[in-house]
A and B are shown apart, each in its own frame.
Chain A
């Protein structure tokens, strides 16, 4: 029988500082009573996500819902599944404290972990403890590059695929000179680097970049005016979430949409929702999942919405569903005891089995931990074209699983070389 428990830790702001934050993490990570008796026959999954910060709507509680849904749908395979959750507050110190506690207290797999800097920390800990790390929320392609690990699967998306999807599409249709507004941390740097490569490979050039402090920046007008002064043809937003929304708003306010093309390099459904179709109309963006893509994604969305404040799953949340489902399939295949004893073996089994789920269809996981599935370039609909809330995208192009991701040999993953 499959059970899905949820501990509800209230979201906390990061103002008080380290001590309070660590306490918060410790409380959210407390083990559940009653679960210990069946510990040997229970797979424990911890959803470690942003429950209170800017990435909450695209990950957070929706990721928990999707992970639970996968657990419920996999019921009756002779073992229990328990899902717990915690808020990492987008801070590597908080995230790694929780990850260590969880793994030491018998959590077998950590799911989601948006924010690349936190994901790197969890990646290292999962490897040390020989547990499983199913990343859906973080973007940096280094997770399957120099930092790749035999204990990690990077499921949903990465900076390379975003760069290729949106960056390459724009540079090939004439956007030759680029200026970036970049979030000054691991993710922003990786995204700018990956896009720059495509721009330069296609004969274009990067004329400048403004790196702003993350997450303390609220006003982007200064960077927008610098971008305007650069006279570049394309303005690349190498940031995410609220920052993307705020920087696009500022760019439009200063009239940049009349002289430059916008490349929102990581933008998702909830960001379009926050920006509003009137301002987002026509933007090109890359995602590997959209709820209204086909019958299977629509069916998944129908199952998720009642549990998710009537919101369809966002890409990262759908990734949590797919990754958890496939992990549980691998566990069932190799036996609970073996899966709990050796995280590396569980991930190896995941790589050996073909994947198939309602969110991403059929796919596979590569030796470096990269999950492969098709990637879509979407164009945002206008207010008149949209039939209502969440009807935001039309498909502009589809890239096959073979072409969308960074070739195995180019990532620099030590697992592949040896």
Chain B
């Protein structure tokens, strides 16, 4: 059997693929963060809690209303996105004129409150959520068994990333958005409702987080901490990619997933640290991030 650095090649390919799958989650989550930061200049620390809410709403839809995974994929982002809209209207919108730090602290606080409430209600040990029957089972790729569901996650994540990029870069509404980021007063003067656009953008970013939460529900235990554990890595992804850069967050998300996956083979103990080592190096050499504009 061929070996690469003492690791059997099939195992290495398997790990590359798994890294890509984890990268899909990072990309999807950092995409929402990048959209919100890029358009609203808000560092959305509630993102992890909103990801977690997506998973909990999926669980609640199934447990209380009998609505399964496919409904959840549609409804959970809408429900959690509506929560985001409410949050933006009542709280975040008041902080646009202040330093980033205020938005960060507000959203961080809201995130802790949401997690605390969920923990009080449902406990910390998690709730079961099964993979939908249509996506159970696995493919034999020769070098590893690939669960169908994980393949589905990668495909859906790539589609969602592409769609978001297209909306922002190639459509009229996207161009309004980008213009509003540069000069809100001027865009407003052309008769475009900038505050409404901001609200909907935040709602959309939150909906992306909830969407990722629904995707995660069948493979990770649905528990109040699930977002808090991921969000720190995702922030590192956004910083490395360049704050606010959509392409940067997507590419970096997948890239770091692969780097982390490889670290899990060669030095598993360091797999939680490697992303931050990369972040430190990138910040030292390119402070604006790999794809950011200085």
Residues of A within 8 A of B (CB): 10-13, 15, 52-58, 60, 184, 210-213, 215-219, 221-223, 225-226, 228-229, 241-242, 245-246, 249-250, 253-255, 270-271, 273-276, 278-279, 309
Known: A218-B229, A255-B138, A274-B221. A225 touches B15 (CB 8 A): yes
Q: CA–CA, A254 to B139, complex, Å? A: 10
Q: CA–CA, A278 to B218, complex, Å? A: 13
Q: Which of A15, A210, A271, A309 neighbours the largest number of chain B CB atoms within 10 Å of its CB?
A: A15
Known: A221-B21, A253-B147, A254-B145. A52 touches B124 (CB 8 A): yes
User: Across the interface, do B229 and A223 meet the contact criterion of CB distance under 8 Å?
Assistant: no
Q: CA–CA, A60 to B226, complex, Å? A: 19
User: Across the interface, do A246 and B220 meet the contact criterion of CB distance under 8 Å?
Assistant: yes
Contacts of B123 in A (CB 8 A): 56-57, 270, 309
Q: Closest CB of chain B to A276's CB: distance in Å? A: 3
Q: Can you list 18 A-B contacts with CB-CB less than 8 angstroms, sorted by A residue number?
A: A13-B112, A52-B119, A54-B124, A56-B124, A215-B229, A218-B226, A219-B22, A222-B19, A222-B265, A222-B271, A223-B268, A229-B8, A242-B221, A242-B223, A245-B126, A253-B138, A254-B147, A271-B125
Known: A10-B116, A211-B268. A225 touches B14 (CB 8 A): yes
Contact of A13 among B15, B144, B228 (CB under 8 A): B228
- B47 near A: Cβ within 8 Å? no
Contacts of A309 in B (CB 8 A): 123
Known: A53-B225, A221-B18. A13 touches B115 (CB 8 A): yes
Q: CA–CA, A246 to B21, complex, Å? A: 16
Contacts of A275 in B (CB 8 A): 128, 221
User: Across the interface, do B116 and A249 meet the contact criterion of CB distance under 8 Å?
Assistant: no
User: Across the interface, do B8 and A218 meet the contact criterion of CB distance under 8 Å?
Assistant: no
Contacts of B268 in A (CB 8 A): 184, 210-213, 222-223
Q: CA–CA, A279 to B126, complex, Å? A: 14
Q: CA–CA, A270 to B123, complex, Å? A: 10
Contacts of A221 in B (CB 8 A): 18, 21-22, 150
Known: A226-B11, A253-B147. A218 touches B230 (CB 8 A): yes
Q: Closest CB of chain A to B138's CB: distance in Å? A: 5
Using CB atoms, name the residue of chain A closest to B45.
Answer: A15
Q: Closest CB of chain A to B63's CB: distance in Å? A: 12
User: Across the interface, do A226 and B125 meet the contact criterion of CB distance under 8 Å?
Assistant: no
User: Across the interface, do A249 and B264 meet the contact criterion of CB distance under 8 Å?
Assistant: no
- B219 near A: Cβ within 8 Å? yes
**B interface residues, tally (CB under 8 Å):** 47
Q: CA–CA, A106 to B228, complex, Å? A: 36
Q: Closest CB of chain A to B202's CB: distance in Å? A: 22
Contacts of B112 in A (CB 8 A): 12-13, 15
Contact of B128 among A217, A226, A274 (CB under 8 A): A274
User: Across the interface, do A270 and B131 meet the contact criterion of CB distance under 8 Å?
Assistant: no
Q: Closest CB of chain A to B15's CB: distance in Å? A: 6
Q: B207-228 vs A: 1/0 string, CB under 8 Å?
A: 0000000000001110101101
Q: B247-281 vs A: 1/0 string, CB under 8 Å?
A: 00000000000000100110011111100000000
Contacts of A255 in B (CB 8 A): 138, 145, 147
| Contact residues of B: prevailing secondary structure | helix
Q: How many A-B residue pairs have CB under 8 A?
A: 136
User: Across the interface, do B269 and A211 meet the contact criterion of CB distance under 8 Å?
Assistant: yes
Which of chain B's residues 2-49 have a Cβ closer than 8 Å to chain A? Answer: 8, 10-11, 14-15, 18-19, 21-22
User: Across the interface, do B264 and A279 meet the contact criterion of CB distance under 8 Å?
Assistant: no
Contacts of B8 in A (CB 8 A): 229
User: Across the interface, do A279 and B128 meet the contact criterion of CB distance under 8 Å?
Assistant: yes
Q: Closest CB of chain B to A29's CB: distance in Å? A: 20
User: Across the interface, do B11 and A217 meet the contact criterion of CB distance under 8 Å?
Assistant: no
Q: CA–CA, A54 to B19, complex, Å? A: 25
Contacts of A217 in B (CB 8 A): 229, 271-272
- B127 near A: Cβ within 8 Å? yes
Contacts of A11 in B (CB 8 A): 116, 119
- B165 near A: Cβ within 8 Å? no
Q: Closest CB of chain B to A39's CB: distance in Å? A: 33
Q: B231-248 vs A: 1/0 string, CB under 8 Å?
A: 010000000000000000
Q: CA–CA, A230 to B150, complex, Å? A: 22
Q: CA–CA, A56 to B116, complex, Å? A: 12
Q: CA–CA, A165 to B158, complex, Å? A: 46
- B149 near A: Cβ within 8 Å? yes
Q: CA–CA, A254 to B19, complex, Å? A: 15
| Top 9 closest pairs, chain A to chain B, by CB | A276-B128, A213-B272, A216-B272, A56-B124, A57-B125, A274-B126, A222-B264, A270-B125, A57-B123
User: Across the interface, do A253 and B131 meet the contact criterion of CB distance under 8 Å?
Assistant: yes
- B130 near A: Cβ within 8 Å? yes
Using CB atoms, name the residue of chain B closest to A57.
Answer: B125
Using CB atoms, name the residue of chain B closest to A309.
Answer: B123
Using CB atoms, name the residue of chain B closest to A243.
Answer: B221
User: Across the interface, do B271 and A53 meet the contact criterion of CB distance under 8 Å?
Assistant: no
Known: A246-B220, A253-B219. A274 touches B273 (CB 8 A): no
Using CB atoms, name the residue of chain B closest to A209.
Answer: B268
User: Across the interface, do B271 and A213 meet the contact criterion of CB distance under 8 Å?
Assistant: yes
Q: Which of B19, B130, B232, B268 neighbours the largest number of chain A CB atoms within 10 Å of its CB?
A: B268
